[in-house]
Amino acid sequence: MKLSVIIPCYNEKATVQKLLTLVCDAPLPKQISAVEIVVIDDCSKDGTREILQQIAKDPIEQVGMKANYSFQLVFQGANGGKGKALRRGFASATGDIILVQDADLEYSPDDYPALLNPIVRGYADVVYGSRFIGQERRVLYYYHYLVNLLLTFLSNLFTNLNLTDMETCYKVFRREVLARITLESDRFGFEPEVTAKMAKLKVRVFEVGIRYNGRTYEEGKKITWKDGIAAFWFIIKYSLFSK
């Protein structure tokens, strides 16, 4: 099987090279024979783009890329948001399995085996990595935690899934599943949209515990209360008013 790791990236010069090194060094199930890494720079302004250009020239030297890995760098012409960047990355992906990875080091590639095993062993079509079941996590904003719980609860009401973390970054799909979903959201609406549309397909969904090293706003966290409010609308919109 071939794995595609899709990494949307915006103003992450402090973390992107280390993240890519960790992705290249991540343990993988034996069924994964090749990996492609697709980085979508969403018009970064802080020097991230220049770092990525240097990495692309020699990814073996820069981030320790292995022989069975490939690296693809995509530049957005204007900042369009995480959802739009992911659509671009999905369109470029050629793997049998597609994994979403943020560039900010909040999520650890060491969790790839747990995320991939249900799919490579043939009993799952989609896997979500939950920050709230059974793994270490940094203790941060209580109100963010409450909002995550509320959004997941509302999403579950509409989808009839019993997820514990709908808003997680770590989402893994069999290629055939993602190909059946038409995505529209540009920013963080990707999470409730893909969950609502995936649930309508009646595919096999699993959830596994993952590590979480969340950032503070001083450290570069980007999601805001406005995105939380928008997520409520997206849950309703994509659950009731879209196919």
Strand partners, 34: 2
Q: Which range is least confidently modeled, 38-47, 151-160, 206-215?
A: 206-215
Mean pLDDT computed over 127-147: 83
- Look up residue 27 and give its two tokens: 């343990």
3 pLDDT band (50/70/90 cuts)? very high
Q: Is the pLDDT of residue 129 over 70?
A: yes
pLDDT exceeds 70 at position 176: yes
Residue keyed to tokens 């059974």: 134
Provide long-range contacts, Cβ within 8 A and 24+ apart, for 176-182. Answer: 176/125, 177/125, 177/126, 177/201, 177/203, 178/90, 178/98
- Angle separating helix axes 225-240 and 142-159, nearest 10 degrees: 0
- Output the pLDDT for position 215: 60
- The predicted model scores a pTM of 0.92
Greater model confidence, 220 or 229: 229
Residue 225 — pLDDT band, cuts 50, 70, 90? Answer: low
What integer is the mean pLDDT of 20-28? 97
- DSSP letter at 111 equals G
Q: Where are the beta strands (DSSP E) in 149-243?
A: 171-174, 205-209
Strands 34-41 and 97-100: unpaired
Q: Which fold has domain 2-240?
A: Spore Coat Polysaccharide Biosynthesis Protein SpsA; Chain A (3.90.550)
Which residue carries 């790839």 as its tokens?
112
Q: Which residue has the higher pLDDT, 185 or 90?
A: 90
Q: What is the mean pLDDT of residues 224-241?
A: 82
Domain boundaries, the chain: 2-240
**For the chain, what's the residue count?**
243
Please give the pLDDT value at position 216: 66
Q: How confident is the model at residue 63 (pLDDT cuts 50, 70, 90)?
A: very high
